[in-house]
Chains A and B, each alone.
Chain A
Amino acid sequence: MPSLVLQYGHDILKEYDLGESLTIGRLPDNTVIIDNPAVSAHHARVSWDGKNFFVEDLDSTNGTFVNDKRVIRHQLLDGDAVIVGKHKLVYDQTAGGEPALHTSAAPNLANLNDTVYLDTRKHKELLAKVTPPAARGTVGVLHVLSGRADHPEYRLDRHTTVIGKSDRANLRLQGWFKPAVAVVITRGEDGYVATRLSGRSRINKQSLTGRQPLKDGDVLSVSGLSLEFSIRPVAEESLSAAFPARDHSEMNRRVSLV
């Protein structure tokens, strides 16, 4: 009986005997199920017209190829390779016995647990864009209430802001006996977090020992410097510079494709 041999790269995954007809697609109601986003739900069909087998594309997104040519309907000849996404189905007309294919490549059954890289370029691009950084329309600001600092105000637009005497500090502490790095403020998806590293620091008069999220209106005291934390909306033009606008309608459409 003629058959189709499902291959991925050099690996032979499975062999399907061709009876009357069979369907290829991503969903479980297909005969040949290829669970890969590059494959459409119902991608292609192979059918018998009484004399020959034909492969038909079922209006798939990425198309069905035979020997590297895109086809709508194509009569299968022995050895034809039907390509669906990254998988290949080789038509084997010779009935019975070990198909020639099995001997050419070592019968290396693919381990289905192997990590697979989704390298269908188009889909990869779509997926990469499913996860844009959340558009952040606000920025934290430290306003100096008292004590010595270089500036009256500091915008926390960096991922990590270092407060200390060190040259690397973004907010430089001045004076003797100040710690090189006193407090580090990190900006995460959920807001800002202050972490004490050395010296004495307080948030709203409470001693800061570990890490603590910063809330609008908190007063942070670091080695004698008193700072008020506030969340402010970012002006429209500077927002677009910092976080380039993304087409969200486009994104939603893409998400539904997954």
Chain B
Amino acid sequence: MRLRVGAATNIGRVRDLNEDAFISRVSDGLFVVCDGMGGAPAGEVASQMAVEAILAQLNGGDRESTAPPAANRVGYLVQTNRLVEAVRRSNHFIYTQAQQDPERAEMGTTVVSAWIKHHVASVAHVGDSRAYLWHNAQLEPLTRDHSLVEAQVRAGLVDRDASVHSRHRNILVRVLGREPDVEVDANEVPLQQGDYLLLCSDGLTGMVPEPVFGKAIVELRHPQRICDYLIDTANANGGNDNITVVVVEVMSSWWRRLSDRWTRQPNGEHDA
């Protein structure tokens, strides 16, 4: 499975520092976006710690986790359980560091991670950084925010369309680093040629409406150009927060790409 990847992070137009962090490792099929919180220098540190800890966990030999999976993990693939476990351990690591340093006691970070192995993307996340799948000209969310607003939407108290404007949007109910243990949400999605996976921090989703993501993918196709375009758009719309975008393209075979080019409509739209 050939992957083509783009990634970019940007401070935005309002913040004094970039508390986002990401890793994009095509060789491992591992992609992580973290959005730190807690102010300087804590937020920066927390997000960086998280991406490094997760990478270290997954690179720490090929051994399977010795701990039995939590009850709600039964039924997931081994690779998914490993990713979830890596995220859980990174939480514990950040929490321990925070306890030792009063300056960093309030630090925390969101995380969204995707690990692509054997044609399946395992997704693990905590907080309001998101993953999306672009498949067959449709954008499908792979994560549900751990925010107050999302809880309200799911409880039927707030309409999803209205939730975009909620004042509670920036209140998170789960993050890494603030409790000794954390519940990590998992998802699995098979990937086909022509699919795109998009990971991002809320600096993108808060500034750019979702339909623009699909438009960028259809018109630009190239992952790095998609990332750059989305970041420019977020900044053009205000850039209220740090923006991080990672885009992974599951490459089609050369003949498929050629036929796509032939069948593409002049306005850039075409049937996948």
Contacts and interface: CB of A to CB of B under 8 A. Distances in A.
A232 B148 CA distance: 35
B119 A181 contact: yes
Contacts, number: 104
A21 to B, nearest CB: 26
A197 B241 contact: no
Nearest to A123: B173
Interface stretch (A60-68, A71-79, A96-104, A111-119): A111-119
B165 interface: no
Nearest to A157: B75
A195 B188 CA distance: 12
Interface stretch (A39-47, A50-58, A126-134, A140-148): A126-134
B155 A130 contact: yes
B183 A128 contact: yes
Interface string B70-97: 0100111100100000000000000000
B204 to A, nearest CB: 14
Contact of B76 (A35, A117, A127, A160): A160
A217 interface: no
Interface in B170-184: 170-175, 178, 183
A125 to B, nearest CB: 9
The interface centre, meaning the residue of B14, B39, B128 with most chain A CB atoms within 10 A of its CB, is B39
Given A124-B173, A210-B135, A115 B37 contact: yes
A199 to B, nearest CB: 12
Contact of A211 (B135, B170, B174, B175): B135
A186 interface: yes
Contacts of B156: 255
A184 B172 CA distance: 33
A116 B170 CA distance: 6
A186 B190 contact: yes
B119 A184 contact: yes
Interface residues of A, number: 35
B173 A128 contact: yes
A166 B120 CA distance: 14
B127 to A, nearest CB: 8
A117 B172 contact: yes
Contact of B35 (A115, A131, A197, A244): A115
A37 interface: yes
A111 B106 CA distance: 16
Interface in B84-127: 106, 108, 118-120
A70 interface: no
B170 A113 contact: yes
Nearest to B157: A258
B241 A113 contact: yes
B118 A166 contact: yes
A159 interface: yes
Contacts of B202: 115
B136 interface: yes
Contacts of B136: 210-211
Nearest to A156: B75
A159 B183 CA distance: 18
B144 A127 contact: no
Given A117-B172, A119-B178, A195-B190, 12 more contacts: A35-B167, A113-B170, A113-B241, A115-B35, A115-B170, A116-B37, A116-B172, A124-B174, A131-B154, A131-B155, A159-B75, A255-B155
Interface of A: 9, 35-37, 113-119, 124, 127-128, 130-131, 157-160, 162, 166, 168, 181, 184, 186, 195-197, 210-211, 242, 244, 255, 258
Interface of B: 14, 35, 37, 39, 71, 74-77, 80, 106, 108, 118-120, 128, 135-136, 144, 148, 150-152, 154-157, 167-168, 170-175, 178, 183, 186-190, 192, 202, 240-241
The 4 closest A-B pairs by CB, nearest first: A184-B190, A158-B75, A195-B190, A160-B188
